[in-house]
Protein backbone atom coordinates (compact mmCIF):
# COMPACT_ATOMS: atom_id res chain seq x y z
CA UNK A 1 0.00 0.00 0.00
CA UNK A 2 1.35 3.42 -0.92
CA UNK A 3 2.25 6.04 1.61
CA UNK A 4 -0.62 8.39 2.46
CA UNK A 5 0.59 11.70 3.87
CA UNK A 6 -1.39 14.86 3.33
CA UNK A 7 0.33 18.05 2.27
CA UNK A 8 0.62 20.72 4.95
CA UNK A 9 -2.47 22.91 4.90
CA UNK A 10 -4.46 20.88 2.40
CA UNK A 11 -7.67 21.53 4.40
CA UNK A 12 -7.43 25.32 4.43
CA UNK A 13 -4.88 28.01 3.68
CA UNK A 14 -1.52 27.68 5.42
CA UNK A 15 -0.20 30.80 7.16
CA UNK A 16 2.57 32.74 5.44
CA UNK A 17 6.02 31.54 6.57
CA UNK A 18 7.37 34.75 8.11
CA UNK A 19 4.16 35.37 10.06
CA UNK A 20 4.20 31.76 11.29
CA UNK A 21 7.85 31.98 12.34
CA UNK A 22 7.16 35.18 14.33
CA UNK A 23 4.23 33.57 16.17
CA UNK A 24 6.17 30.40 16.96
CA UNK A 25 9.27 32.24 18.18
CA UNK A 26 7.26 34.21 20.74
CA UNK A 27 6.41 31.14 22.81
CA UNK A 28 7.96 28.17 24.61
CA UNK A 29 7.11 24.73 23.20
CA UNK A 30 7.29 21.17 24.50
CA UNK A 31 7.05 19.33 21.19
CA UNK A 32 9.92 20.06 18.81
CA UNK A 33 8.77 19.59 15.21
CA UNK A 34 8.37 21.25 11.84
CA UNK A 35 4.94 22.88 11.77
CA UNK A 36 5.13 23.90 8.12
CA UNK A 37 8.12 23.80 5.76
CA UNK A 38 10.82 26.10 7.14
CA UNK A 39 9.10 26.74 10.47
CA UNK A 40 9.97 24.67 13.55
CA UNK A 41 8.85 24.98 17.17
CA UNK A 42 12.32 24.23 18.62
CA UNK A 43 10.70 22.66 21.67
CA UNK A 44 12.36 20.73 24.49
CA UNK A 45 11.35 17.25 23.26
CA UNK A 46 11.50 15.78 19.75
CA UNK A 47 8.66 13.22 19.46
CA UNK A 48 9.58 11.95 15.99
CA UNK A 49 11.36 8.85 17.31
CA UNK A 50 8.39 7.86 19.46
CA UNK A 51 6.04 8.30 16.51
CA UNK A 52 8.07 5.79 14.53
CA UNK A 53 8.09 3.37 17.47
CA UNK A 54 4.29 3.39 17.58
CA UNK A 55 4.38 1.45 14.30
CA UNK A 56 1.10 2.88 13.08
CA UNK A 57 0.04 2.19 9.49
CA UNK A 58 1.36 4.68 6.99
CA UNK A 59 -2.17 5.07 5.64
CA UNK A 60 -4.57 5.86 8.48
CA UNK A 61 -7.50 6.70 6.22
CA UNK A 62 -10.77 5.64 7.83
CA UNK A 63 -9.18 5.25 11.29
CA UNK A 64 -10.61 7.16 14.26
CA UNK A 65 -7.75 8.10 16.57
CA UNK A 66 -7.83 9.78 19.99
CA UNK A 67 -4.78 11.67 21.25
CA UNK A 68 -5.30 11.84 25.02
CA UNK A 69 -2.94 14.37 26.58
CA UNK A 70 -2.23 16.02 23.22
CA UNK A 71 -0.12 18.90 24.57
CA UNK A 72 1.12 21.04 21.63
CA UNK A 73 -0.34 18.50 19.22
CA UNK A 74 2.49 16.80 17.33
CA UNK A 75 0.91 13.34 17.39
CA UNK A 76 -2.51 14.71 16.47
CA UNK A 77 -1.17 16.66 13.51
CA UNK A 78 1.00 13.76 12.33
CA UNK A 79 -1.87 11.26 12.47
CA UNK A 80 -4.09 13.75 10.65
CA UNK A 81 -1.50 14.14 7.90
CA UNK A 82 -1.49 10.36 7.46
CA UNK A 83 -5.25 10.28 6.95
CA UNK A 84 -6.69 9.58 10.40
CA UNK A 85 -9.85 11.18 11.75
CA UNK A 86 -8.30 12.65 14.90
CA UNK A 87 -9.82 13.98 18.11
CA UNK A 88 -7.46 15.56 20.65
CA UNK A 89 -7.91 15.83 24.43
CA UNK A 90 -5.95 17.90 26.92
CA UNK A 91 -6.48 19.47 30.34
CA UNK A 92 -5.60 22.84 28.82
CA UNK A 93 -7.81 24.69 26.38
CA UNK A 94 -6.55 24.50 22.82
CA UNK A 95 -5.99 28.29 22.88
CA UNK A 96 -3.56 27.91 25.79
CA UNK A 97 -1.72 24.68 24.88
CA UNK A 98 -0.52 25.99 21.52
CA UNK A 99 -2.78 23.55 19.69
CA UNK A 100 -5.04 26.26 18.26
CA UNK A 101 -2.11 28.41 17.12
CA UNK A 102 -0.41 25.49 15.38
CA UNK A 103 -3.74 24.51 13.80
CA UNK A 104 -4.13 28.03 12.44
CA UNK A 105 -0.59 28.05 11.06
CA UNK A 106 -1.05 24.71 9.30
CA UNK A 107 -4.55 25.46 8.11
CA UNK A 108 -6.09 22.36 9.69
CA UNK A 109 -9.09 21.93 11.97
CA UNK A 110 -8.81 18.99 14.38
CA UNK A 111 -11.50 18.64 17.07
CA UNK A 112 -10.03 19.34 20.51
CA UNK A 113 -11.73 18.89 23.89
CA UNK A 114 -10.56 20.42 27.14
CA UNK A 115 -11.11 17.58 29.61
CA UNK A 116 -9.08 16.08 32.43
CA UNK A 117 -8.30 12.41 31.90
CA UNK A 118 -9.46 11.77 35.48
CA UNK A 119 -12.95 12.94 34.52
CA UNK A 120 -15.19 9.94 33.83
CA UNK A 121 -17.07 11.93 31.17
CA UNK A 122 -14.13 11.32 28.84
CA UNK A 123 -15.65 8.00 27.77
CA UNK A 124 -18.62 9.79 26.21
CA UNK A 125 -16.44 10.86 23.28
CA UNK A 126 -15.58 7.31 22.11
CA UNK A 127 -15.18 4.87 20.65
CA UNK A 128 -11.94 5.16 18.69
CA UNK A 129 -10.02 2.55 16.75
CA UNK A 130 -6.73 3.73 18.26
CA UNK A 131 -6.10 5.61 21.49
CA UNK A 132 -2.75 7.25 22.27
CA UNK A 133 -1.82 8.01 25.88
CA UNK A 134 1.76 9.14 25.51
CA UNK A 135 3.80 10.69 28.32
CA UNK A 136 0.62 11.09 30.35
CA UNK A 137 0.01 8.60 33.17
CA UNK A 138 2.88 9.65 35.43
CA UNK A 139 1.54 13.21 35.39
CA UNK A 140 -1.79 12.13 36.94
CA UNK A 141 -2.57 11.84 40.63
CA UNK A 142 -4.59 8.65 40.03
CA UNK A 143 -2.95 6.76 37.15
CA UNK A 144 -5.24 3.73 37.35
CA UNK A 145 -8.30 5.91 36.94
CA UNK A 146 -6.64 7.87 34.15
CA UNK A 147 -5.76 4.64 32.37
CA UNK A 148 -9.26 3.26 32.88
CA UNK A 149 -10.89 6.40 31.48
CA UNK A 150 -8.58 6.67 28.50
CA UNK A 151 -8.73 2.97 27.71
CA UNK A 152 -12.53 3.13 27.72
CA UNK A 153 -12.27 5.19 24.52
CA UNK A 154 -10.49 2.38 22.64
CA UNK A 155 -12.47 -0.17 20.69
CA UNK A 156 -9.33 -1.92 19.48
CA UNK A 157 -5.80 -0.58 20.00
CA UNK A 158 -4.24 1.25 22.95
CA UNK A 159 -0.73 2.71 22.98
CA UNK A 160 0.80 3.80 26.29
CA UNK A 161 4.15 5.50 26.83
CA UNK A 162 5.36 6.51 30.28
CA UNK A 163 8.15 7.03 32.79
CA UNK A 164 9.70 3.69 33.83
CA UNK A 165 11.67 2.97 37.01
CA UNK A 166 13.05 -0.49 36.10
CA UNK A 167 16.62 0.78 35.93
CA UNK A 168 16.35 2.52 39.30
CA UNK A 169 15.32 -0.52 41.32
CA UNK A 170 17.17 -3.55 42.70
CA UNK A 171 16.92 -6.59 40.44
CA UNK A 172 14.45 -8.32 42.77
CA UNK A 173 11.93 -5.49 42.42
CA UNK A 174 12.12 -5.00 38.66
CA UNK A 175 9.87 -7.97 38.01
CA UNK A 176 7.28 -6.79 40.54
CA UNK A 177 4.27 -4.53 39.87
CA UNK A 178 5.79 -1.54 41.68
CA UNK A 179 4.63 2.07 41.46
CA UNK A 180 6.82 4.75 43.06
CA UNK A 181 5.42 8.03 44.35
CA UNK A 182 7.26 11.17 43.22
CA UNK A 183 6.87 13.98 45.78
CA UNK A 184 6.90 17.71 45.14
CA UNK A 185 10.51 18.60 44.18
CA UNK A 186 10.32 21.94 45.97
CA UNK A 187 9.41 20.33 49.28
CA UNK A 188 11.50 17.18 48.78
CA UNK A 189 14.43 18.20 46.55
CA UNK A 190 16.48 15.07 47.25
CA UNK A 191 13.90 12.42 46.42
CA UNK A 192 14.76 11.86 42.75
CA UNK A 193 12.02 13.81 41.01
CA UNK A 194 12.80 13.58 37.24
CA UNK A 195 13.65 16.99 35.81
CA UNK A 196 12.53 18.58 39.11
CA UNK A 197 9.07 18.62 37.53
CA UNK A 198 6.23 19.17 39.99
CA UNK A 199 3.74 17.66 37.54
CA UNK A 200 5.34 14.19 37.91
CA UNK A 201 3.48 12.03 40.43
CA UNK A 202 4.36 8.37 39.74
CA UNK A 203 6.95 6.08 38.21
CA UNK A 204 6.14 2.52 37.15
CA UNK A 205 7.96 -0.72 36.63
CA UNK A 206 7.22 -2.10 33.18
CA UNK A 207 5.56 -5.10 34.84
CA UNK A 208 3.30 -2.80 36.84
CA UNK A 209 2.15 -0.86 33.80
CA UNK A 210 1.63 -4.06 31.81
CA UNK A 211 -0.57 -5.50 34.56
CA UNK A 212 -2.55 -2.27 34.80
CA UNK A 213 -3.20 -2.30 31.04
CA UNK A 214 -4.28 -5.93 31.24
CA UNK A 215 -6.50 -5.15 34.23
CA UNK A 216 -8.52 -2.61 32.23
CA UNK A 217 -9.32 -5.15 29.54
CA UNK A 218 -6.38 -5.29 27.10
CA UNK A 219 -3.76 -7.80 26.04
CA UNK A 220 -0.24 -6.40 25.58
CA UNK A 221 1.23 -7.32 22.18
CA UNK A 222 4.47 -5.37 22.49
CA UNK A 223 6.43 -3.95 25.41
CA UNK A 224 9.63 -1.95 24.98
CA UNK A 225 11.76 -0.48 27.76
CA UNK A 226 14.46 2.01 26.86
CA UNK A 227 16.34 3.70 29.69
CA UNK A 228 13.62 5.44 31.75
CA UNK A 229 10.78 5.07 29.25
CA UNK A 230 8.36 2.24 28.56
CA UNK A 231 6.06 1.74 25.56
CA UNK A 232 3.15 -0.70 25.51
CA UNK A 233 1.07 -1.63 22.46
CA UNK A 234 -2.14 -3.46 23.37
CA UNK A 235 -5.47 -4.61 21.94
CA UNK A 236 -8.85 -4.89 23.63
CA UNK A 237 -10.00 -8.27 24.91
CA UNK A 238 -12.63 -7.14 27.49
CA UNK A 239 -13.39 -8.43 30.95
CA UNK A 240 -12.70 -5.25 32.89
CA UNK A 241 -16.28 -4.34 33.89
CA UNK A 242 -16.24 -5.83 37.41
CA UNK A 243 -12.99 -4.11 38.35
CA UNK A 244 -14.20 -0.72 37.13
CA UNK A 245 -17.44 -1.09 39.05
CA UNK A 246 -15.57 -1.93 42.23
CA UNK A 247 -13.04 0.85 41.78
CA UNK A 248 -15.06 3.92 40.92
CA UNK A 249 -18.79 3.38 40.55
CA UNK A 250 -21.55 3.53 43.14
CA UNK A 251 -23.28 0.21 43.68
CA UNK A 252 -26.94 -0.15 42.68
CA UNK A 253 -29.45 0.56 45.42
CA UNK A 254 -31.61 -2.38 46.60
CA UNK A 255 -34.19 -1.08 49.12
CA UNK A 256 -35.69 -3.42 51.70
CA UNK A 257 -38.29 -5.69 50.12
CA UNK A 258 -41.25 -6.42 52.37
CA UNK A 259 -41.11 -6.45 56.15
CA UNK A 260 -37.85 -4.78 57.30
CA UNK A 261 -37.91 -6.92 60.43
CA UNK A 262 -37.33 -9.98 58.27
CA UNK A 263 -33.69 -10.78 57.34
CA UNK A 264 -34.71 -11.80 53.81
CA UNK A 265 -35.99 -8.28 53.12
CA UNK A 266 -32.45 -6.86 53.17
CA UNK A 267 -29.89 -7.08 50.39
CA UNK A 268 -26.46 -6.67 51.96
CA UNK A 269 -23.24 -6.75 49.93
pLDDT tens digits, one per residue of 150-185: 999 999 999 999 999 999 999 999 999 999 999 998
Mean pLDDT for the stretch of residues 102-109: 95
Pairing, β 34-36 against β 39-40 = antiparallel
Give the span between the Cα atoms of 268 and 256, in whole angstroms: 10
Please say if the pLDDT value at position 191 is more than 60.
yes
Produce one character per residue of 114-150: b if its CB has 16 or more CB atoms within 10 Å, e if not.
ebebbeeebeebbebbbbbbbbbbbbbebbbbbbbbb
Q: How far are the Cα atoms of 21, 115, 151, 243, 262 from residue 125, in angstroms, in the given order?
A: 34, 11, 12, 22, 46
**Tally of helices (H runs) and strands (E runs) in the chain:** 9, 11
Q: Is the peptide bond before 127 cis (omega within 30 degrees of 0)?
A: yes
- Binned at pLDDT 50, 70 and 90, residue 33 comes out as very high
Name the DSSP class of 31. Answer: B
Q: Would you state the pLDDT for residue 2?
A: 47
What is the pLDDT of the chain when averaged over all its residues? 92
The larger pLDDT score, comparing residue 246 to residue 109, is at: 109
The model's pTM is: 0.89
- Binned at pLDDT 50, 70 and 90, residue 237 comes out as very high
Q: Would you state the pLDDT for residue 11?
A: 46
Please say if the pLDDT value at position 12 is more than 60.
no
Could you tell me the sign of the dihedral formed by the alpha carbons of 164, 170, 173, 178, in that order?
negative
Amino acid sequence: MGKCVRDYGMDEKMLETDAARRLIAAHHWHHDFEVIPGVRTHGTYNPEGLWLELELPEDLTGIRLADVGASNGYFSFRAHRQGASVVAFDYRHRDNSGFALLSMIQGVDIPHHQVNVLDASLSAYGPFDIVLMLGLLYHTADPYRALSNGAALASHRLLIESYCIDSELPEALRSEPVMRFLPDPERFPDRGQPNADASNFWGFTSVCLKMMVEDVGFAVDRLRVREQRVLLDAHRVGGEERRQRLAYRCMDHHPPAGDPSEPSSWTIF
